[in-house]
Amino acid sequence: MKTLLLELPPEVDEEEARLMLAVKLYEVGKLTLGQAARWAGYSKRAFMELLGHYGVPVIAYSPEELQEEVTE
């Protein structure tokens, strides 16, 4: 695993920054739900609720993937 060191301004909370980064990395597919939840320090269930708060779908299928899932 890689290490990243950031200097945050005083008005940016470390936990909030970690959460926002985990949400974005999950949204773009770089982390799984479990990885993002652990990295942000939340249970999967709590992280899923936070994803909804930020407008990030928990399950994001392309139209083709959704059709495949429905027909199986």
Q: List pLDDT tens digits, range 4-62.
A: 888 999 999 999 999 999 999 999 999 999 999 999 999 999 999 999 999 998 887 67
Residue 1, classed as helix, strand or coil, is coil
Q: What is the pTM of this model?
A: 0.78
- CA angle (30, 32, 45) in 5-degree steps: 140
